[in-house]
Structure 1
Amino acid sequence: MTPLLELRGVQTHIGAYHILHGVDLVVPEGELTLLLGRNGAGKTTTLRSIMGLWQPSGGQVLLSGQPIGGPGLQLATPEIARQSIAYVPENMGIFGALSVAENLLLAARDARRLDQLDDARLAWLFGLFPALRKFWHYPAGKLSGGQKQMLAIARALIEPRRLLLIDEPSKGLAPAIVQNLIESLQELKRSRTTVLLVEQNFHMARQLGDGVAVMDDGRVVHAGRMADLAADEALQQRLLGLSLAAHQ
């Protein structure tokens, strides 16, 4: 079966720096795939290369078997987004002076006014993230960190997406808020939305991941099932330098 997303030998340079050294990655449709690795391993660069924000200098990025990125075949970032791919960056990209509602409206291509937003889609998002209904007219800049993260993900999902790329959503959040986020993403998984998730919280990774790829020094050095990695403490130590059991 053709994977929804595939990277074949992707190389990425940023200025004089060679960041990705031939990344091979497969993201099956309908699964949540974790991208793990130490700081500086190239995880964020991988997401940005998929979106065309940094253009690969070698290799290919394919969506349903069709090339969308790589030398000589690179789509522009807006074109990639129009392939029904959404990206939630680490900094969330929230417009703080706008309300929660206005942030969502900006991401809805077919709506010009709030009353044109899809009611069924909004109801589904409120089910995932109940705080968004409560703070609907509240300035987004005054939300808590966890609420901003939920808004960022909801904004990416205001329209149906084939693929969602999320970069470290739990970073800086209190444990109770992380658990709320885990529960929301578990509900998202039940909708069979395909997700590629970069995450450093290994308790969260173990609960959410179907597949996993581990990066080191700009390469994928391990790929498999998250359950197998979670059960193999020696492999965790070798790949990540830590034990998942220590991150309950």
Structure 2
Amino acid sequence: MSGLVQEAHPSAILELENVHTHIGEYHILQGVNLSVPRGGLTVLLGRNGAGKTTTLRTIMGLWQASQGSIHFHGQAIQNRATPEIARKGIAYVPESMAIFSDLTVKENLHLAARNGPMDPARLEWIFNFFPALKKFWNYPAGNLSGGQKQMVAIARAIIEPRQLLLVDEPTKGLAPAIIESLIAAFNDLKKNQTSILLVEQNFNFVRHLGDTVAIMDDGRIVHAGRMQDLAENEELQQKLLGLSLSSHQ
């Protein structure tokens, strides 16, 4: 199934067509075709080294595609600089979280609010999901726990309305209570028509949250479809992922 091409969909907010990415001498992405529906959550699955993080970084312009096209709202962005891509309404939460450890939680969010002062109503909306941020508002972000730092990273990405979120492994190492808060936050974002492309290995998390799913192997998309169909088909799970989602509940 390598080289699978997804059909273009008129409601897609983001589309990758035959995207190749080279990093030094390594050919990481080898013809990625991916469509992210508008207002839904798409999960990108695959083993370590399959190219998932490279896909997110290529969309964001942190690594340049050597071939192919990336369209956001129908406009080509594959040759745009990262700041320009961000200004179009795309936010990226890397696995490393990339927060400013020496700055307070407040200062981290203030820097992310590029369009002016933080909206108090939106800030309270974020506190509703991540109350620890309010508690540690004036603490250096570097002093927070791993889960709290992840809250800061996600809050930075959504402190202003974004059209598309790219999120890499948000639940890695997090306590179940924090994961429940993430589920609530992502569901609320979807209700407000924020599209999300999520790389994740917590299968129970994505099973209940994802609308569509794409599976990568060796730098290509080898399967794309509805998350519900994959979650209900253990034979397909074993074939594509080598495991059963039911064993990860």
TM-score, normalised on structure 2? 0.93
Letter in structure 1 aligned against 2:109: L
1:20 counterpart SS class: strand
Equivalent-residue separation in structure 2 for 1:144 and 1:85 (angstroms): 27
> Structure 1 residues 137-146 or 116-125, which shifts more?
116-125
Equivalent-residue separation in structure 2 for 1:144 and 1:32 (angstroms): 27
How far residue 131 of structure 1 moved from its aligned partner, in angstroms, is 1.6
Aligned to 1:81: 86
Aligned to 1:105: 110
Aligned to 2:69: 60
How far residue 97 of structure 1 moved from its aligned partner, in angstroms, is 1.1
How far residue 38 of structure 1 moved from its aligned partner, in angstroms, is 0.6
Equivalent-residue separation in structure 1 for 2:172 and 2:17 (angstroms): 29
> Structure 1 residues 23-32 or 187-196, which shifts more?
187-196
Aligned to 1:181: 182
Q: Which runs of 5+ in 2 are unaligned?
A: 1-9
C-alpha distance after superposition, 1:136-172 (max 9, x if no partner) = 1111111111111111011011111110000001112
Aligned to 2:125: 124
Q: Number of paired residues? A: 240
Letter in structure 2 aligned against 1:79: E
How far residue 2 of structure 1 moved from its aligned partner, in angstroms, is 4.0
Is 1:41 the counterpart of 2:50? The answer is yes
1:4 counterpart SS class: strand
2:77 counterpart SS class: strand
Aligned to 1:149: 150
How far residue 12 of structure 1 moved from its aligned partner, in angstroms, is 0.3
Equivalent-residue separation in structure 2 for 1:52 and 1:121 (angstroms): 28
How far residue 88 of structure 1 moved from its aligned partner, in angstroms, is 0.3
Letter in structure 2 aligned against 1:52: G
Is 1:205 the counterpart of 2:206? The answer is yes
> Structure 1 residues 122-131 or 50-59, which shifts more?
122-131
Equivalent-residue separation in structure 1 for 2:122 and 2:177 (angstroms): 26
Decide whether the 8 Å contact of 1:2 with 1:65 is kept in 2.
Answer: no
Decide whether the 8 Å contact of 2:129 with 2:181 is kept in 1.
Answer: no
Aligned to 1:221: 222
TM-score, normalised on structure 1? 0.94
How far residue 185 of structure 1 moved from its aligned partner, in angstroms, is 2.1
1:150 counterpart SS class: helix
> Structure 1 residues 85-94 or 169-178, which shifts more?
169-178
Decide whether the 8 Å contact of 1:2 with 1:64 is kept in 2.
Answer: no
Instruction: Give the aligned CA root-mean-square deviation in angstroms.
Output: 1.1
Equivalent-residue separation in structure 2 for 1:159 and 1:176 (angstroms): 25
Q: Which runs of 5+ in 1 are unaligned?
A: none
* Identity level (%): 67
